[in-house]
Amino acid sequence: MNCEIICVGTELLLGDILNTNAQYLSRELAALGIGLHHQQVVGDNPDRMRESISKALAESDLVILSGGLGPTADDLTKEICCEVMDEELVLDEEILQGIKNYFSSKGLAMPENNSKQAFVPKKNGIVLKNANGTAPGCAVEKNGKIAIMLPGPPRELIPMFENEVKPYLAKKTGGVILSKQVRTFGIGESDMASRVKDLLNGENPTVAPYAKDGEALLRVTARAENEEKAARMCDEAIEKIKQRIGKYIYGIDCQSLEEKAVELLKKADKTLALAESCTGGYIAKRITDIPGASSVFEYGIVSYSNEVKQKLLGVNAETLDKYTEVSEQAAAEMAQGVRKLSGADFGLSVTGFAGPDAASDGRPAGLAYIGFSCAEKTQVRELRTGKNAREYNRYVAASNALHMLIEYLSERNDKE
Amino acid sequence: MNCEIICVGTELLLGDILNTNAQYLSRELAALGIGLHHQQVVGDNPDRMRESISKALAESDLVILSGGLGPTADDLTKEICCEVMDEELVLDEEILQGIKNYFSSKGLAMPENNSKQAFVPKKNGIVLKNANGTAPGCAVEKNGKIAIMLPGPPRELIPMFENEVKPYLAKKTGGVILSKQVRTFGIGESDMASRVKDLLNGENPTVAPYAKDGEALLRVTARAENEEKAARMCDEAIEKIKQRIGKYIYGIDCQSLEEKAVELLKKADKTLALAESCTGGYIAKRITDIPGASSVFEYGIVSYSNEVKQKLLGVNAETLDKYTEVSEQAAAEMAQGVRKLSGADFGLSVTGFAGPDAASDGRPAGLAYIGFSCAEKTQVRELRTGKNAREYNRYVAASNALHMLIEYLSERNDKE
């Protein structure tokens, strides 16, 4: 099955919004094993839309459209696409009532325009429910071609694709589709990919590598008659992946290092305190991105100056004199210091050169020391990113700190 | 002049990368008054590329291509586009030497493949310099059509567009093109747009509103015979904008609130300390995003718990008992406390409910108190975002804190 995507919206042609839908849909289609060969963006212009849709349907088995399902006069995707496919649109009273209910639940009357959204394909289509807005999507299947029409806002499009389109496409290709994500840390994308190279060529399950925010991940997607079997297929592939790169895997189906760190802290009923120099609050920010982080994280110090390091964290003046503030010794004392000051179970610290410039003593941007301290031990890891990029260096240093904590807590869990 | 964009790259069709180039180019073209009617993405497939480029050149005056200028066998944009336009490519010895120098500066020998990048249009084209990579771009003009070929990586494409393509297109449309950005805070995009509505219809200069990260901005772009005149035209438009929404403008041509805050602190030779509760280090992170922030920011406390607020910041137990930790009074004491503890000139504090859930006492997510303290005074602002979105609430609370500082420092500057 080959496929084409058409995103509709003048705001995309003006550059007002970033086309994240195109990436999302492309990635999902790749995971489903559906070959995408063309993406287009057209404005809310009937003639151009007609031309693009006709051409796409002539060349592809499946055309996925996003945008232009709104209530205003220039929202024309459904009308034009059904016209091109010679499919009549009819009013669906139930959907109309649903839209009216949506408005009345907000204490509003439905504007007359919105009734347009209750028109659906008469004969050769199905309706795709929208749990997050008024515009339902639809799929029309005719003469061996399929057109799927989705709303433009990602918070409507993504759940509709997940819950309505995937099962629909799974039926077309047979069965259910299930994806699981394997998250790694400390291994590059190409290194990871080369170690699981043979798995990347599989057709079912598919295994696809991604690099995201300096981490490498693998997505495993299986197609099967039922969910149980698809899950088993995913798990078998993940087992093989674990054999190759197990020591780099920190989570299956979790979202981020910070989510994993908070989850493990909660599980262990332990608390964390932070002393951040070059990351300047970035670890604290990421930890507190997670709802409920307050139960495990109470205390963070951003200690940009040596004075704060000494006065508040109790780093020795001699340490700073002898080894400088960017040193293994300073990182260790910062991690110990903040743990003691706060009374938390664990202390994490980062001190380094974020860049973009090298340090005045000639040491490179991207050099950082990351300290971890608990009751039994204090350890420090040296990081050298080799890059001058400030944001990258800060993000990666924060990630390394979170990963040190995760490693400790994971080992602790394994022992229990 | 009407235009079409073609982004080339199988990685875009697989969803491995987000197509930020399409947004960047679309926005730039809109600012230049060039009408964009179609975007396409095609993979590294010669037949499909040939078809897309031919069709685009038939329908548009200007076709901008990005990607596919690399050294490998599947980088074919230049070859296919010049074939379609019947333009011969020839080796440019000077460019070849430049590429060799680029490698030798990194202590490497040029791989043989890279010589392919030194081929340029023989008769009807110009070369576009690449200051950030080995692949030069080029423009071919033939039979009343223009094709511009740019490298795919944004850090190469953007400077090339700014420095090479804009002047080239300016010549085609006559003169130079200059853009200035007006940044506002505290006014919504639609409110801002309605107050400058008449200016948005201008053709030269153009004034375009954007919303970015919860802020509203206006971009003013003028086309003129020379830079001086273009600058004067921009300034005249900005003067009109100031008359309408002057009190919301915090910067012209600066990049962010944090950049402005650091700039003003440096100018005033003053220092800042932070006490963050619900923002959890987000303000510190944004401040330290700015290189050189260490000279004005030394000291940040992330005080998630009441214990930290009391012990370290000296917030009164009675204040917390009587008004709770999310209150005007707590914010004031936190800002004062961190200023005194650190010895900094200014203290900023945030305490609130980030969400996504409402507080246990029923107060809504998005409620925050922001404190500012200096030697003369301490003041607190209440923020109610009305949203349950954690990231948004935290970002906007941090922005409001930065803006309180900017307001104070701007008034101070005005007085001097």
Higher local confidence (pLDDT), B213 or A153 = A153
3 state DSSP class of B13: helix
Contact A291 B357 (CB under 8 A): yes
Query: What mean pLDDT value characterizes chain B?
Result: 91
The pLDDT tens digits of the residues spanning B218-262 come to: 989 888 888 899 999 999 999 999 999 999 999 998 889 999 999
Query: Are A77 and A145 within 8 A, CB to CB?
Result: no
What ipTM did this prediction achieve? Answer: 0.74
Distance from CA of B121 to the nearest CA of A (A): 27
Query: Are A302 and B301 within 8 A, CB to CB?
Result: yes
B287 pLDDT more than 80: yes
Contact A15 B37 (CB under 8 A): no
Rounded to whole angstroms, the Cα distance separating A396 from A278 reads 11
How many inter-chain contacts (A to B, CB under 8 Å) are there? 209
Bridging pattern class, strands A367-373 and A378-384: antiparallel
Nearest to B18 among A23, A274, A394 (CB): A23
Residue B369 tokens read as: 């108190």
Rounded to whole angstroms, the Cα distance separating B70 from B73 reads 9
Q: Closest Cα to residue B402, out of B288, B290, B260?
A: B260
What phi, psi does A365 have (nearest 5°)? -60, 145
Helices (H), A14-165: 20-31, 46-59, 77-84, 93-104, 154-160
Residue A179 tokens read as: 């994806």
B413 pLDDT more than 80: no
Average pLDDT over residues B332-351: 96
**The pLDDT of residue B105:** 76
B416 pLDDT more than 60: no
Contact B301 A300 (CB under 8 A): yes
The CA-atom distances, in angstroms, between A285 and each of A232, A282, A380, A394, B398 are 37, 5, 22, 12, 11
A194 pLDDT more than 90: no
What phi, psi does B125 have (nearest 5°)? -135, 170
Confidence of residue B36 (pLDDT cuts 50, 70, 90): very high
Residues of A in contact with B280 (CB under 8 A): 284-285, 287-289, 293, 297, 300
Residue showing tokens 């420090």:
A380
The pLDDT tens digits of the residues spanning A300-353 come to: 999 888 888 888 899 999 999 999 999 999 999 999 999 999 999 999 999 999
Bridging pattern class, strands B145-150 and B62-66: parallel
Higher local confidence (pLDDT), B1 or A265 = A265
Query: Are A364 and A288 within 8 A, CB to CB?
Result: no
Rounded to whole angstroms, the Cα distance separating B248 from A190 reads 48
**The pLDDT of residue B35:** 84
Higher local confidence (pLDDT), B336 or A299 = B336
3 state DSSP class of A142: strand
**Comparing A115-124, A162-171, B26-35, B267-276, which segment has the lowest mean pLDDT?**
B26-35
**The pLDDT of residue A415:** 61
Residues of A in contact with B285 (CB under 8 A): 279-282, 284-285
**The pLDDT of residue B143:** 93
**The pLDDT of residue A354:** 93
Average pLDDT over residues A376-399: 92
**The pLDDT of residue A216:** 86
Bridging pattern class, strands B35-42 and B2-8: parallel
**Comparing A150-159, B178-187, B203-212, which segment has the lowest mean pLDDT?**
B203-212
Question: A125 pairs with which residues across the strands?
Answer: A140
Give the nearest chain A residue to B19 (CA atoms).
A19
**The pLDDT of residue A206:** 86
Mutate to test the interface with B, among A38, A217, A278 (most CBs of B within 10 A): A38
**The pLDDT of residue A173:** 73
**The pLDDT of residue B415:** 61
Query: Are A120 and A136 within 8 A, CB to CB?
Result: yes
3 state DSSP class of B284: helix
**The pLDDT of residue A174:** 67
**The pLDDT of residue B216:** 86
Strand order across the beta sheet in which A176-184 lies: A206-212, A215-224, A176-184, A249-252
The CA-atom distances, in angstroms, between B325 and each of A293, B305, B313, B329 are 17, 9, 13, 8
Contact A288 B304 (CB under 8 A): yes
**The pLDDT of residue A300:** 95
Average pLDDT over residues B259-272: 97
Bridging pattern class, strands B378-384 and B367-373: antiparallel
Query: Are A230 and A178 within 8 A, CB to CB?
Result: yes
**Comparing A151-165, A323-337, B208-222, which segment has the lowest mean pLDDT?**
B208-222
